[in-house]
């Protein structure tokens, strides 16, 4: 007994260090893997498609993919923030339509120049986000409910305003935003890249970003640490609204008109992009890079399906399965995590 006692004591420091290092590694590795699981899937599918179809790896097709997914990806940048706070925004599709149509009307009815109209449309989105944020923090509605209501309200408003018909007559220059090129690179790609970098910095290098994680991880702890949780939550929903509004403008530019029925079901694509990219609906986890990968994974699958003549219904099934796999992976990771903490 005595002997084993003294042995224990000498063992202790070394043993603890070794033990905690080992316990740390799997978590970090699986963190990496979870990022690369989606990235890996993306690469594998890209390689497979470039073998299966000669068209896939052409610049024209790749730019096409980017342009098609840019709107989804831009809005998903905001969704990343929202989901990290353990929230959700179901209204992004409707808000994008409302903001886009109002932005188009600013040009058509008031003759505003297109940059001002884009700014206006973006601000409309921001206002919707503000309403969402206040409903969540002041009226204490669950994010699901607040934004479900907004989804219906915004869709209703855009149909009232337009009489449910498309708005035509935008200036040609407006096409630049969604269809233009700079040095052969599509403007939506450049826009997305700039916004993604900005969102990444916002999330990883500013108070807003840090508090987004803190609120999602433990709202009460964040509040007691002096964080004005309500204000930051409102900021996050406003940010989501602004991005939805801007995304709506990009979408309208692509079709050079105001389409009141745009974005029906878009919110599900946006949420799927974030979730496939590793955002946890329980909050506290997610990255901009992951969300981008998620968005592109879905876009590439859709594109590949078109190239390989797979019908849209089958595409839908494939996307659904991918969502399942992504979340199953996420939960598997969590469980390992829980076990390693004992």
Partner 1 sequence: MPSTSVETEQSPIIRLRKITRRFPGVTAVAEVDLDIYPGEVHVVAGENGAGKSTLMKILYQVERPDAGQIYLNGHPLSFHGPHYARALGVAMVHQEFALAPHLSVAENLFLGREPLRFGFIRRRRELAEARHLLAQVGLDLDPRRLVASLSVAEQQLVEIARAISFNARVLILDEPTATLTEQEIARLFEVIRQLTDQGVAVLYISHRLDEIFQIADRVTVMRDGRVVATLPRAELSEQKLVQLMVGRAITNLYPRPETHPGPVLLRVEELSRRGLLHDCSFEVRAGEILGFAGLIGAGRSELARAVCGADPIDSGRIFLDGQELHIRRPADAIRSGLAYVTEDRKREGLALDLGVDQNITLASLPARLGLLLLRRERTTALRACQRLNIRTPSVRRKARLLSGGNQQKVVVARWLETQARVIFFDEPARGIDVGAKAEMFALIGRLASEGRAIVLISSYLPELLNMCDRIAVMREGRIVGTLSRGQFSEERIIALATGASEVTIP
Binding-site ranges for partner 1 (CB under 8 A): 1, 4-5, 8-9, 11-12, 15-24, 26-27, 201, 205-207, 210, 213-214, 216-218, 220-228, 284-285, 337, 339-342
Cα 133 to chain centroid, rounded = 17
Q: CB of 219: closest distance to partner 1 in angstroms?
A: 9
Q: CB of 12: closest distance to partner 1 in angstroms?
A: 7
CA 132/CA 150 separation, integer angstroms: 7
Q: CB of 6: closest distance to partner 1 in angstroms?
A: 9
Tell me, letter by letter, the H, E, C secondary structure of 176-213.
HHHHCEECCEEHHHHHHHHHHHHHHHHHHHCHHHHHHH
Of 87, 65, 98, 68, the C-alpha closest to 263 is 98
Cα 230 to chain centroid, rounded = 21
Which tokens sit at 191? Answer: 């826009």
Secondary structure of the chain: what % helix, strand, coil (to 5)? 80, 0, 20
Which tokens sit at 6? Answer: 């003294």
DSSP state of 96: H
SS3 (DSSP) at 112: coil
Query: Which lies closer to partner 1 via its Cβ, residue 8 or residue 54?
Result: 8
Q: CB of 211: closest distance to partner 1 in angstroms?
A: 8
Query: Which lies closer to partner 1 via its Cβ, residue 132 or residue 285?
Result: 285
Query: Which lies closer to partner 1 via its Cβ, residue 213 or residue 262?
Result: 213
- CB neighbours of residue 116 within 10 Å: 13
Using only C-alpha atoms, the chain has a radius of gyration, in whole angstroms, of 23
Query: Which lies closer to partner 1 via its Cβ, residue 232 or residue 262?
Result: 232
Which tokens sit at 16? Answer: 């603890």
Q: CB of 143: closest distance to partner 1 in angstroms?
A: 19
Query: Which lies closer to partner 1 via its Cβ, residue 149 or residue 284?
Result: 284
Query: Which lies closer to partner 1 via its Cβ, residue 20 or residue 173?
Result: 20
Q: CB of 201: closest distance to partner 1 in angstroms?
A: 8
Concatenate the DSSP letters of all residues of 135-179 into one string: HHHTS---HHHHHHHHHHHHHHHHHHHHTTS-B----GGGHHHHH
Query: Which lies closer to partner 1 via its Cβ, residue 142 or residue 181?
Result: 142
Q: CB of 332: closest distance to partner 1 in angstroms?
A: 15
């Amino acid at each position: 007994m005595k002997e084993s006692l003294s042995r224990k004591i000498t063992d202790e420091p070394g043993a603890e260090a070794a033990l905690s290092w080992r316990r740390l590694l799997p978590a970090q590795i699986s963190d990496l893997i979870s990022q690369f699981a989606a990235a890996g899937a993306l690469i594998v599918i890209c390689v497979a498609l470039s073998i299966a179809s000669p068209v896939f790896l052409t610049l024209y097709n790749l730019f096409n993919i980017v342009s098609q997914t840019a709107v989804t990806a831009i809005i998903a940048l905001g969704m990343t923030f929202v989901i990290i706070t353990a929230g959700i925004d179901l209204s992004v599709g409707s808000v994008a339509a409302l903001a886009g149509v109002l932005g188009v009307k600013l040009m058509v009815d008031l003759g505003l120049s297109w940059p001002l109209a884009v700014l206006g449309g973006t601000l409309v989105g921001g206002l919707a986000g503000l309403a969402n944020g206040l409903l969540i923090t002041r009226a204490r509605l669950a994010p699901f409910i607040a934004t479900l209501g907004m989804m219906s309200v915004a869709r209703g408003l855009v149909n009232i305003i337009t009489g449910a018909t498309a708005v035509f007559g935008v200036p040609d220059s407006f096409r630049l935003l969604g269809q233009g090129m700079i040095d052969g690179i599509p403007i939506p790609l450049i826009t997305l890249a700039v916004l993604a970098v900005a969102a990444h910095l916002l999330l990883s290098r500013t108070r807003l970003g840090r508090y987004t994680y803190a609120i999602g991880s433990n709202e009460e702890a964040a509040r007691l640490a002096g964080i004005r949780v309500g204000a930051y939550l409102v900021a996050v929903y406003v940010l989501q609204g602004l991005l939805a509004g801007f995304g709506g403008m990009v979408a309208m530019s692509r079709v050079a008109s105001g389409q009141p029925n745009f974005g029906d079901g878009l919110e599900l694509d946006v949420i799927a992009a974030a979730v496939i990219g590793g955002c946890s609906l329980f909050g506290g986890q997610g990255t901009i890079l992951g969300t981008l990968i998620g968005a592109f994974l879905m876009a590439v699958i859709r594109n590949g399906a078109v190239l390989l003549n797979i019908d849209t219904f089958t595409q839908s099934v494939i996307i659904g399965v991918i969502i399942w796999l992504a979340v199953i992976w996420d939960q598997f990771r969590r469980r390992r995590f829980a076990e390693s903490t004992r």
